[in-house]
Amino acid sequence: AAGVIQSPRHLIKEKRETATLKCYPIPRHDTVYWYQQGPGQDPQFLISFYEKMQSDKGSIPDRFSAQQFSDYHSELNMSSLELGDSALYFCASSPQVNTEAFFGQGTRLTVV
Protein backbone atom coordinates (compact mmCIF):
# COMPACT_ATOMS: atom_id res chain seq x y z
CA ALA A 1 0.00 0.00 0.00
CA ALA A 2 1.14 3.52 -0.75
CA GLY A 3 2.52 5.46 2.20
CA VAL A 4 3.33 9.10 2.84
CA ILE A 5 6.48 10.00 0.93
CA GLN A 6 8.82 12.72 2.14
CA SER A 7 11.84 14.10 0.39
CA PRO A 8 14.63 14.55 0.91
CA ARG A 9 15.30 12.10 3.74
CA HIS A 10 18.35 14.06 4.89
CA LEU A 11 19.28 17.67 4.35
CA ILE A 12 22.26 19.69 5.52
CA LYS A 13 22.08 23.46 5.27
CA GLU A 14 24.11 26.35 6.57
CA LYS A 15 22.76 29.08 8.82
CA ARG A 16 20.69 31.69 7.00
CA GLU A 17 20.07 29.39 4.05
CA THR A 18 16.67 28.24 2.82
CA ALA A 19 15.27 24.70 2.81
CA THR A 20 12.28 23.18 1.07
CA LEU A 21 10.79 19.93 2.32
CA LYS A 22 8.33 18.00 0.21
CA CYS A 23 5.50 15.67 1.18
CA TYR A 24 3.36 13.41 -0.98
CA PRO A 25 0.32 12.26 0.99
CA ILE A 26 -1.51 8.99 0.55
CA PRO A 27 -3.92 9.26 -2.42
CA ARG A 28 -7.45 10.37 -1.52
CA HIS A 29 -6.37 11.65 1.90
CA ASP A 30 -7.85 15.09 2.39
CA THR A 31 -5.75 16.27 5.34
CA VAL A 32 -2.02 16.95 5.62
CA TYR A 33 -0.09 17.80 8.78
CA TRP A 34 3.49 18.99 9.36
CA TYR A 35 5.39 18.34 12.59
CA GLN A 36 8.81 19.20 13.96
CA GLN A 37 10.54 16.81 16.38
CA GLY A 38 13.74 17.77 18.17
CA PRO A 39 16.04 15.11 19.70
CA GLY A 40 14.25 13.33 22.54
CA GLN A 41 11.23 15.60 22.15
CA ASP A 42 7.60 15.03 21.27
CA PRO A 43 6.40 16.04 17.81
CA GLN A 44 5.39 19.70 17.71
CA PHE A 45 2.48 20.63 15.47
CA LEU A 46 3.36 23.21 12.82
CA ILE A 47 0.51 23.47 10.36
CA SER A 48 -2.29 21.49 8.71
CA PHE A 49 -4.22 21.59 5.45
CA TYR A 50 -7.67 20.34 4.55
CA GLU A 51 -8.44 19.99 0.86
CA LYS A 52 -5.47 22.20 -0.01
CA MET A 53 -6.54 25.02 2.29
CA GLN A 54 -4.65 25.85 5.47
CA SER A 55 -6.85 24.72 8.34
CA ASP A 56 -4.83 25.05 11.53
CA LYS A 57 -1.59 26.60 12.65
CA GLY A 58 0.64 25.74 15.57
CA SER A 59 3.95 27.03 16.79
CA ILE A 60 5.33 27.67 13.34
CA PRO A 61 7.94 30.44 13.09
CA ASP A 62 7.24 33.30 10.72
CA ARG A 63 10.33 32.19 8.80
CA PHE A 64 8.47 29.02 7.82
CA SER A 65 5.66 28.76 5.32
CA ALA A 66 3.79 25.86 3.83
CA GLN A 67 1.33 25.20 1.08
CA GLN A 68 -0.53 22.34 -0.54
CA PHE A 69 -0.70 22.19 -4.30
CA SER A 70 -3.39 21.14 -6.77
CA ASP A 71 -1.91 17.62 -6.96
CA TYR A 72 -2.17 17.44 -3.12
CA HIS A 73 1.54 17.38 -2.46
CA SER A 74 2.70 19.81 0.19
CA GLU A 75 5.88 21.78 0.74
CA LEU A 76 7.35 23.30 3.89
CA ASN A 77 9.62 26.24 3.16
CA MET A 78 12.07 27.34 5.80
CA SER A 79 14.09 30.51 5.40
CA SER A 80 16.89 32.18 7.38
CA LEU A 81 17.70 28.83 8.95
CA GLU A 82 18.97 28.78 12.51
CA LEU A 83 20.91 26.10 14.35
CA GLY A 84 17.81 25.44 16.45
CA ASP A 85 15.86 24.42 13.36
CA SER A 86 17.86 21.19 13.26
CA ALA A 87 15.25 18.48 13.81
CA LEU A 88 13.19 15.74 12.21
CA TYR A 89 10.33 17.11 10.16
CA PHE A 90 7.37 14.83 9.63
CA CYS A 91 4.50 15.05 7.27
CA ALA A 92 1.35 13.03 7.87
CA SER A 93 -1.92 12.59 6.05
CA SER A 94 -5.39 11.48 7.13
CA PRO A 95 -8.28 10.08 5.10
CA GLN A 96 -10.64 12.36 7.03
CA VAL A 97 -10.27 15.19 9.51
CA ASN A 98 -9.72 14.00 13.08
CA THR A 99 -9.05 10.38 12.18
CA GLU A 100 -5.83 8.42 12.33
CA ALA A 101 -2.78 10.03 10.79
CA PHE A 102 -0.28 8.20 8.60
CA PHE A 103 3.23 9.55 8.99
CA GLY A 104 6.07 9.66 6.53
CA GLN A 105 9.59 8.63 7.47
CA GLY A 106 10.59 12.23 8.01
CA THR A 107 13.26 14.60 6.76
CA ARG A 108 16.24 15.04 9.04
CA LEU A 109 17.37 18.65 8.72
CA THR A 110 20.77 19.60 10.06
CA VAL A 111 21.71 23.27 10.14
CA VAL A 112 25.43 23.93 10.51
Partner 1 sequence: SQQGEEDPQALSIQEGENATMNCSYKTSINNLQWYRQNSGRGLVHLILIRSNEREKHSGRLRVTLDTSKKSSSLLITASRAADTASYFCATVPSGGYNKLIFGAGTRLAVHP
| Residue 1 in the binding site for partner 1 (CB under 8 A) | no
CB-nearer residue toward partner 1: 15 or 57? 57
Give CB contacts under 8 A, 24+ apart, made by 48-57.
Answer: 49/74, 50/97, 55/31, 55/97
Residues 71-100 that bind partner 1 (CB under 8 A): 88, 90, 92, 97-100
Is the bond into 43 cis (omega within 30 degrees of 0)? no
CA–CA dist 74, 23 (Å, integer) = 5
Closest approach, Cβ 106 to partner 1, in A, equals: 6
Residues that bind partner 1 (CB under 8 A): 4, 31, 33, 35, 41-45, 48, 50, 55-56, 58-59, 88, 90, 92, 97-106, 108
